[in-house]
Every structure is written in structure tokens, then in C-alpha cells.
Amino acid sequence: MILLQLILIFYTSFSQDSTGAGGYFKSYLTDTKSLISAPMSWKNSDIEKAVIFTGSTLFLMVNDERLNSFIAGNSRESVSDFMQVGFEPFGNGVYTLPLLGGLYLGGMLSDNPYDKRMALTGVKSFVFAAGGATLIKAAFGRHRPDDNHAVDAFAFDGPFKGLNDDGSFVSRHSMVAFAVAATLSEGYNKDKKWLPWVAYSVASLVAVSRSYSNEHWVSDAFAGACLGYVTGKMVFKLNRKYLSGKP
């Protein structure tokens, strides 16, 4: 509902932008194709990073039960409650989308087209990250650590039991938070050098909160953070021309 309201606000003011609403929404299709086909053009360095990511995720999966047991034994309910209110909403849109909406409206009031386009690019990163995480969840169907079953970090249903989009792997909160953080950091790292530090710190706390509250295994949060970071960076790269104001 929040996303729909923001899209309506954005749409009504597109007439003031030389790129137009049609071009922006059409770019979702072209960007989707680019994101899907990206591995086809990977260089050796990209393949090495993918191998490191996969190996690190598998290593954490092997140790997930011990890690979550350690976290549960050292967690405090007051801290968990604070993180759920203070940071987790940055991963589900409750804080992030109004923040991007504020950036857009600020750009309108100050006649700053770049801020408006950055806000819309941030929304795009949010959509791609949330959608990507949902597809991965449905594909793996991993059980959460707080499921009403015996704790088993390797309990995967796969895509054959109802395509559950609420599976544990990966953390959608982590992926969304890091995607938006990466996009905003790329867009403002020259003029606002403090922003990447704040954005990535908040995104990291979102990821930590998901394991701390026993909603996710550590590997879920880690994988979501990594994939979100890559998604946000790629979305920014794909929209450089749009951000420059070129039609």
C-alpha cells in the first residue's frame, strides 16, 4: 500500500521531468533483462567473487545452528525489541519508502531533478531486491529457525510445496536494505561522503536484527546483504543515463 501511494505521487509529477513516466516504467523491463543476463558477461574477477560468496554462504549454512544457538543464548529481549522497531522497518519499506518519498518531494520543492531521479532509482532498487528475494525464497523453501519443527538449518522444501514466498533463504529485509543503501551511496558518495557510512551501517543493523530476533539463519542475512549490495550497485549503473537527465 505504501509503495502504491508513493508511485501515484511520483507519477503525478512526472510531467515536470524530461524523461517522462513512460520511459521510467519501461526501464523496469530493460533493467530486468540486463540484471538477468548480467552473469553472461562476467569477467574472471566477477566469477571469483561469486565463488567466494557461494563458499562463504555454504560455510555459514554448515554452522548456522551453532551460530543461532550462540546468538539466542546471548540475546536480550529489550535489545531485540529495539532493533525490531528501530532498524527492521528499513528492510520492509515502512521507513525506506517514505524516506525515498521525502527525497523526491524535497527534490520537487528545491527544483533538484537529480534528487527526484535518485529517489525513483532507489524505489527501483527496492522493487528489484524485494522481487528477487521473493523468487529465491520460493525456489529454496528453507525453514526458518523459529519454525514449529525440530531446528534444522538444512530443512529445504524447494519449489515443490506451494511456492512459499516466506521461506528463510534469503532475508528479504537484508536484501532490500542493502540494495537501497548501495544505490543511494553510489549516487551521493561525492557530495555527501557521510551517507555511505550511515546507509551501510543501518543496512548492516537490519541484517543483524533478522538473526538476533531469530527470524533468520545467519547465512540468510549474509546472502541477502551480499545480493542486495550487488543489486543496488547494478541498478545504479544501469540508470546512469537516466540520472544524468538524458532522454
Q: Which three cell numbers stand for residue 187?
A: 549516487
In a domain, residue 101? The reply is: yes
How many Cα atoms sit within 13 Å of 220 on the Cβ side? 35
Tell me the three state secondary structure of residue 156: strand
| Nearest C-alpha neighbor of 109 from the set 13, 246, 214 | 13
- Structure confidence at residue 147 (pLDDT): 79
CB 206 within 8 A of CB 171: no
Rounded Cα distance between 240 and 218, Å, is 34
- Structure confidence at residue 159 (pLDDT): 80
Q: How far is CA 44 from CA 35, 36, 41, 52, 190, in A?
A: 18, 18, 10, 12, 29
Beta partners for residue 156, in sequence order:
142
In a domain, residue 81? The reply is: yes
Question: Structural domain tally of the chain?
Answer: 1
In a domain, residue 64? The reply is: yes
In a domain, residue 232? The reply is: yes
In a domain, residue 32? The reply is: no
Rounded Cα distance between 27 and 20, Å, is 11
- Structure confidence at residue 228 (pLDDT): 97
pLDDT, block means (10 residues), the chain with 247 residues: 52 52 83 93 94 97 94 89 90 93 93 93 96 93 81 82 79 97 95 94 96 94 97 95 78
Q: List the domain range (segments joined by +) for residue 235.
A: 47-145+154-243
Rounded Cα distance between 13 and 10, Å, is 6
- Structure confidence at residue 15 (pLDDT): 45
In a domain, residue 161? The reply is: yes
- Structure confidence at residue 104 (pLDDT): 94
- Structure confidence at residue 11 (pLDDT): 53
In a domain, residue 15? The reply is: no
Rounded Cα distance between 219 and 48, Å, is 19
Burial 49-84 (b: 16+ CB within 10 A, else e): eeeeeeeebeebbeebbebbeebeeeeeeeebeebe
| Nearest C-alpha neighbor of 92 from the set 179, 152, 173, 22 | 173
In a domain, residue 78? The reply is: yes
